[in-house]
C-alpha cells in the first residue's frame, strides 16, 4: 500500500487489541523494498497489492498508485479497488481498460452496503469481464454495519456469474460462506489467517467443515495478509498442512488455483529459499 495508507493500517492493528481481546503485533513492519525482498525469498511468484478506500474520493488515486506499483515490480499483480460513490462505475471501467487483474472490496473498512445501487454497475462490469474481486465481507476481526453473509449473498444472487473471492473464508461465519461458495460456481474463498493459532483463539475452525474445503476443490485460494499478520508467513502454510487434505489439494491452494484464476504462467522448480522464520 502507499506508505501513508500502510501507516494508518498498522495504527489500526496497534489499537484493535481491546476489540478482539488480544494484541496484534505486525510481523513485517519494515519498508517496502524489504517486504518485497522477503516475499521473493519465500518463493512467492506473484502477489496483489489489494488496496482499498475507507472514504469517498480515495479509489482513483489508490488505483493510480497500484497501477504504477505493478509497472515497477514485475511480480506484483495489477490491482484496483472502488468505493460506493457516484464515480465507482467509471473508476472500475478505467481500471479494467488499464488492465487490472484483480480488485479488492473491503466492506468492513469502507462501511458501505455492497447492495448499494451505486455498485450495481460495478458488480455488472466485473461479472462481464470475469475479473476476480477479493471481498472482505465477514465479521472478523470486528463486525461492521454491512458485514456477515447476508448482504453479499444478495449481491451474488443478483450477479451469479461474478468471480468473487471471500477473504478470510468469511470468518467467523465459515459454514455460511462455504455453503454460499458451493451455491455459486464462480465464488471462491481464501485462507487468509484461517486455521492459524492466532485465529483459532477467537474464531476456531469447526473440523466438521473440513470436507467442504475438499469439495470446493480449485476454488480455495491461499491468502496470507502479508505483511500485517501477527505471526510469520510460514505459519499460514503450516496451518494448511495441519488440515491433512493431501498434497494435491495443498498444491492447488498454494499455486495452481490462483494461477488458473488469474491466468498466470506456470512455474517449475524453486525460485529461492526461505522459511519465513526470521
The CATH number that applies at residue 100 is 3.20.20.140
Q: How far apart are CA 16 and CA 261, in angstroms?
A: 33
Handedness of CA 32, 38, 42, 45 (dihedral sign): positive
SS3 48: strand
- Tens-place pLDDT, residues 170-228: 999 999 999 999 999 999 999 999 999 999 999 999 999 999 999 998 999 999 999 99
Position 132 in a domain: yes
Position 214 in a domain: yes
Position 277 in a domain: no
Q: How far apart are CA 78 and CA 265, in angstroms?
A: 15
Where in the sequence is the domain holding 205, given as residue range(s)? 3-261
Q: Which residues contact 8 (CB under 8 A, 6 or more apart)?
A: none
The mean of the pLDDT values for the chain is 93
Number of H helices, E strands in the chain: 14, 8
Q: How far apart are CA 256 and CA 176, in angstroms?
A: 25
pTM of the predicted structure, to 2 decimals: 0.93
**Over residues 87-94, mean pLDDT:** 98
Position 84 in a domain: yes
Q: What confidence score (pLDDT) does residue 267 get?
A: 56
- Tens-place pLDDT, residues 99-157: 999 999 999 999 999 999 999 999 999 999 999 999 999 999 889 999 999 999 999 99
Position 266 in a domain: no
Q: Which residues contact 97 (CB under 8 A, 6 or more apart)?
A: none
| CB of 235 closer than 8 Å to CB of 193 | no
Position 268 in a domain: no
Position 241 in a domain: yes
The count of structural domains within the chain is: 1
- Mutual angle of helices 120-129 and 88-97, in 10-degree steps: 20
Q: What's the chain's length in residues? A: 278
Percent over 90 (pLDDT), the chain: 88
- Tens-place pLDDT, residues 25-34: 999 999 999 9
SS3 152: helix
Q: Taking the CB of residue 95, how many other CB atoms lie within 10 A of it?
A: 26
Position 271 in a domain: no
Amino acid at each position: 500500500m502507499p506508505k501513508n495508507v500502510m501507516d494508518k493500517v498498522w495504527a489500526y492493528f496497534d489499537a484493535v487489541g481491546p476489540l478482539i481481546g488480544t494484541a496484534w503485533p505486525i510481523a513485517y513492519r519494515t519498508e517496502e523494498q524489504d517486504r518485497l525482498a522477503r516475499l521473493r525469498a519465500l518463493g512467492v511468484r506473484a502477489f496483489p497489492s489489494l488496496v482499498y478506500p475507507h472514504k469517498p474520493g480515495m479509489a482513483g488515486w489508490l488505483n493510480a498508485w497500484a497501477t504504477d506499483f505493478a509497472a515497477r515490480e514485475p511480480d506484483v499483480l495489477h490491482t484496483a479497488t472502488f468505493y460506493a460513490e457516484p464515480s465507482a462505475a467509471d473508476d472500475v471501467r478505467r481500471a479494467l481498460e488499464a488492465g487490472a487483474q484483480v480488485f479488492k472490496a473491503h466492506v468492513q473498512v469502507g462501511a458501505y452496503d455492497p447492495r448499494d445501487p451505486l455498485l450495481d454497475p460495478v458488480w455488472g462490469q466485473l461479472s462481464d469481464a470475469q475479473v476476480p474481486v477479493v471481498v472482505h465481507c465477514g465479521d472478523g476481526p470486528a463486525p461492521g454495519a454491512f458485514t456477515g453473509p447476508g448482504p453479499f449473498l444478495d449481491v451474488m444472487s443478483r450477479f451469479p456469474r461474478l468471480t468473487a473471492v471471500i477473504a478470510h473464508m468469511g470468518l467467523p461465519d465459515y459454514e455460511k460462506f462455504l455453503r454460499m461458495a458451493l451455491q455459486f460456481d464462480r465464488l471462491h474463498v481464501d485462507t487468509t489467517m484461517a486455521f492459524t493459532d492466532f485465529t483459532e483463539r477467537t474464531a476456531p475452525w469447526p473440523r466438521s467443515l473440513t470436507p467442504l474445503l475438499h469439495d470446493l476443490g480449485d476454488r480455495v485460494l491461499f491468502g496470507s495478509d502479508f505483511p500485517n499478520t501477527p505471526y510469520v508467513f510460514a505459519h499460514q502454510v503450516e496451518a494448511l498442512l495441519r488440515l491433512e487434505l493431501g498434497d494435491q489439494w495443498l498444491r492447488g491452494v498454494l499455486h495452481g488455483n490462483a494461477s488458473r484464476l488469474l491466468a498466470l504462467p506456470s512455474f517449475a522448480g524453486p525460485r529461492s529459499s526461505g522459511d519465513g522464520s526470521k
